[in-house]
Amino acid sequence: MFLHIGADTVIPTKNIIAIFDMETTTISKYTREFLKIAEEEGFVESVSDDLPKSFIVTETDKKSKIYLSPISSVTLKKRANFLKKISEE
């Protein structure tokens, strides 16, 4: 299954490690530092020009990638849970 994370971007749900809320997690200096280093090393991809509301940490073939999404983490979680329910039927 694939999760639509904004604009024209979909990612396989099996590759998702975590979905984080941008507002609440970036309060921590460690999270800000993590995102800064990841961006400097080219692991961050923004899926939209809109202000990001969440970021999604993924791994494919032992390579990490972080997507900045304009969709809230709550909405992304609901979508992922919906997909999980469909696949179980």
* pTM (predicted TM-score): 0.91
The burial of 78, by beta-carbon neighbours within 10 Å (0-12 exposed, 13-18 middle, 19 or more buried), is given as exposed
With a cut of 70, list the residues of the chain below it in pLDDT. Answer: none
What distance in Å separates the CA atoms of residue 5 and residue 88, rounded to the nearest whole number? Answer: 22
3-class DSSP state of 88: helix
Report how many domains make up the chain: 1
**Span 25-49, pLDDT tens digits:** 999 999 999 999 999 999 999 999 9
Range of the domain at 12: 2-88
Q: Is 79 helix (H, G, I), strand (E, B) or coil?
A: helix
Surface-to-core class of residue 80, CB atoms within 10 Å of its CB (0-12 exposed, 13-18 middle, 19+ buried): middle
Rounded Cα distance between 82 and 65, Å, is 23
What's the count of helices (H) and strands (E) in the chain, helices before strands?
A: 3, 6
